[in-house]
Amino acid sequence: MLSTQSLLKNTIVRGIPTSGMTLSSLKLATNYSTISKAMVCEKHGKPKDVLRLKELTIPKIKDDEVLVKFLAAPINPSDINQIEGVYPIKPRFKKYGAVGGNEGVAEVVAAGNKVKNLTVGDWVIPDTKAFGTWQTFAASPENELQKISKNISKISASTISVNPPTAYRMLKDFVNLKKGDVIIQNGANSAVGQAVIQIAKAWGIKTINVVRDRPNFDELADQLHKLGATLVIKEEDLRANSTRELVKNLGSPVRLGLNCVGGKSANGITRLLGHNASLVTYGGMSKQPLTFGTGPFIFKNLKACGFWNSRWNKEASKKDKQYMFDDLCELIRGGYLAEPWHDETKWELSDDNKTLNRKFMKALSKAGASFGNKKQILTFE
Ligand SMILES: NC(=O)c1ccc[n+]([C@@H]2O[C@H](COP(=O)([O-])OP(=O)(O)OC[C@H]3O[C@@H](n4cnc5c(N)ncnc54)[C@H](OP(=O)(O)O)[C@@H]3O)[C@@H](O)[C@H]2O)c1
C-alpha cells in the first residue's frame, strides 16, 4: 500500500495530461498545481442525481495556506441535506460546482511561508462550514483547519468533528449531570447515539436507548449493551407501563432527553422525563414535527430546546474547541469511545474515475438506507 510519503516521492511532475489520470499520477508540491479527485455537484438536488466525480486543479498554495491530502471522510445525513438544499448551511458553489462532505481528516502535505501553527505531517479536521471533504486534496487557509491528534485511527479522526462533539456538548451543556444520573435518547443506534452511550458510560451516567423495531432487534440491543447502554427499548415500548417500571428501577429520575427523530418518538420520550428535565432536539430523522402532550410540560416543568453543533463551533473559542477535542481523543485512546460502526469504501491509487464514481455512489446509497446501522466512510490511499 502506498503512503503519503511515497505518493509525494512519486508525483512531483510537470505537464502531464490530467484527464483520466489515476490517483497515483497526481502532482503534488507547493509550487506546482495539484489535481484533486472530487465528488462535485453543480446545483442542488438528490445527491445521486447531482454529484459526479471531477478532476479539479488546485492552484499553487498561498503563503497562509496549506495543501492537505484527505485520508478519510464520512457521509453524514447533513451532507445529504446540504446538497438537497434543505440545510441552513449551503455548499460552497464555485465555477466548477461544490465539493460535497463536511467532515473528514486530512494530512498536511505542504505549507506556505507564513503558516504558523501547522507543519507538514500534521493531521487536521475542517474548522469551517461546507469545507468539501469528499476529495483527495484541498488548499486551505490554516485558520480553517483544526489540528488533531495522530494517536487515534484515521476512522476515529475522520468522524470526530460532528457526532462525538454533538454527544459531548449535549451531555455537558444543558443539565448539570452527576454520576448515577439518567438520560434518555432516541435514534440510539445512530453515530451520535453510539457516542452518547459511550461518553455517558465513561462519565458514570445511565442511558435509556430507544430504537425502531427490526427483525434483528435483539442483536442490535446486544451491540448497544456492549457499548455501555443501560436499557434498550423499542419505540412502541415508550408508552408501556412496564417501561415506566424499568425506568423507575434505575433509581434516579430521567433528567435529560436527546431527540434526533421528532414526531411521536419525541412525545413518547417526554412521558418518561422526570421533573425539571430538558428535552434537547438535534435532528429530525422522521421528518415529523414536534408535538408534545401539554400535561407533562406544565406539571413536570419540562424545557424543550435545540442544539446545533455548527452554532457551537462558530461561537466557541479555539481554546474551548481544543480542550474538547483533546478530551475526546483521551476517551478514544483510553478505549472508552470506539470508532462508529462503519463500512469503509476505499478509493485506491489505481482506480480510474469511473471506478471512483461507482464506489462513491454505492456508499451513498447505503448511507441513506433505513436500518443501515453503519456510517459509510470513504478512505483515500
Ligand atoms: N444538531 C446537530 O448539531 C447535529 C450533529 C450531528 C448529527 N445531527 C443529526 O443527528 C441525526 C443522526 O446523525 P448521525 O450522523 O448519527 O446518523 P446516522 O449514524 O446515519 O444514523 C441515522 C439514525 O437515524 C435513524 N432513522 C433514520 N430514519 C428514521 C426515521 N424515519 N425514523 C426514526 N429514525 C430514523 C436511524 O435508525 P434506523 O437504524 O432505525 O434506520 C439511525 O439511528 C441526524 O438527523 C443528523 O442530521 C445533528
Q: Which residue type is seen at 311?
A: R
Q: Residues near 154 by Cβ (< 8 Å), separated by ≥ 6?
A: 71, 72, 105, 379
pLDDT at residue 339 in the model = 98
Whether 95 and 49 share a structural domain:
yes
Asked if residue 125 belongs to a domain, the reply is yes
Q: What is the best residue among 190, 224, 233, 324 to mutate for testing ligand 1's pocket, by most ligand atoms within 8 Å of CB?
A: 190
Q: Do 175 and 307 fall into the same domain?
A: yes
98 occurs within a structural domain: yes
Q: Which residues on neighbouring strands pair with residue 259, listed in sequence order?
A: 281
What the block records as the C-alpha cell of 220 is 442490535
SS3 61: coil
Q: What pLDDT is stored for residue 33 in this prediction? A: 62
Q: Give the distance (Å) from ligand 1 centre to CA of residue 28.
A: 37
Shared domain for 127 and 81, answered yes or no, is yes
Task: Point out the ligand 1 atom lying closest to the alpha carbon of residue 78.
Answer: 47
Average pLDDT, the chain: 91
Could you list the beta-strand ranges (E) of 100-170. 105-111, 123-126, 137-141, 145-148
For residue 249, is it within any domain?
Answer: yes
In this structure, the residue with its CA closest to atom 7 of ligand 1 is 163
Q: Give me ligand 1 centre to Cα 90, in Å.
A: 20
Residues 128, 176, single domain; the answer is no
Considering the domain architecture, whether residues 236 and 355 belong to the same structural domain is answered as no
Which alpha helices (H) appear in 41-105, and where do they start and end? Answer: 47-50, 77-84
Determine the longest span between alpha carbons in the chain, in angstroms.
Answer: 73
Residue 78 contacts residue 162 (beta carbons within 8 Å): yes
Residues 181-198 as b/e (b if ≥16 CB within 10 A, e otherwise) read bbbbbbbbbbbbbbbbbb
Strand ranges, E, within 149-219? 182-186, 206-211
Q: Residue 19: which of 346, 354, 345, 349 has the closest Cα?
A: 354
- Beta carbons within 10 angstroms of residue 33's beta carbon: 15
pLDDT of residue 32: 58
Extract the C-alpha cell encoding 274: 422526570
Sign (positive or negative) of CA dihedral 254, 259, 264, 265: negative
User: Residue 191 sits in which domain range?
Assistant: 165-311
pLDDT tens for 342-367 read: 999 999 999 999 999 999 999 999 99
Is the C-alpha dihedral spanning 44, 365, 72, 223 positive or negative? positive
260, 290, 310, best to mutate for ligand 1 pocket (most atoms within 8 Å of CB): 260
- Would residue 109 count as lying in a domain? yes
One domain for residues 138 and 17: yes
What are the mean pLDDT values of the chain's consecutive 10-residue runs (381 residues total)?
A: 34 36 50 84 98 94 96 97 96 97 97 96 95 97 94 97 97 98 98 98 98 96 98 96 96 97 96 97 96 92 97 93 94 97 96 97 92 92 87
Q: Is residue 316 part of a domain?
A: no
pLDDT digits (tens, 9 = 90+) for 277-310: 999 999 999 999 999 999 989 999 999 999 999 9
For ligand 1, residues with CB inside 6 Å are 76-78, 162-163, 166, 187, 189-192, 211-212, 260-261, 282-283, 285-286, 307-309, 370-371, 373, 375
Report angle CA 165, 171, 175 to the nearest 5 degrees. Answer: 140
The packing angle between helices 318-333 and 191-202, to 10°, is: 80
**Domain-terminating residue out of 311, 331, 353:** 311
Say which of 32, 87, 168, 336 is annotated catalytic: 87
CATH of the domain at 269: 3.40.50.720
Domain check: are 52 and 11 in the same one? yes
Q: Out of 264, 291, 311, pick the residue that ends a domain.
A: 311
In a domain, 136, yes or no: yes
Q: Say yes or no: 210 and 102 in one domain.
A: no
For residues 9 and 151, membership in a common domain is answered with: yes
* pLDDT for the residue numbered 318: 86
CATH number, domain at 348? 3.90.180.10
What gap in Å lies between CA 107 and CA 60, rounded to an integer?
Answer: 17
Question: Sign of the C-alpha dihedral, residues 48, 54, 60, 66?
Answer: positive
Atom of ligand 1 nearest to the CA of 189: 43
In a domain, 330, yes or no: no
Can 87 be counted among the known catalytic residues? yes
Residue 60: inside a domain, yes or no? yes
Indicate if 78 and 193 belong to the same structural domain.
Answer: no
Residue 158 contacts by C-beta under 8 Å, 6 or more apart in sequence?
Answer: 71, 72, 73, 74, 103, 104, 105, 125, 377, 379
Same-domain check for residues 57 and 122: yes
8 and 125: one domain? yes
Q: How many domains does the chain have?
A: 2
**Bridge partners (DSSP) listed for residue 41:** 51, 98
Q: Let me know: does 296 contact 270? Beta carbons within 8 Å.
A: yes
Nearest to 80 by CA among 43, 120, 47, 113: 47
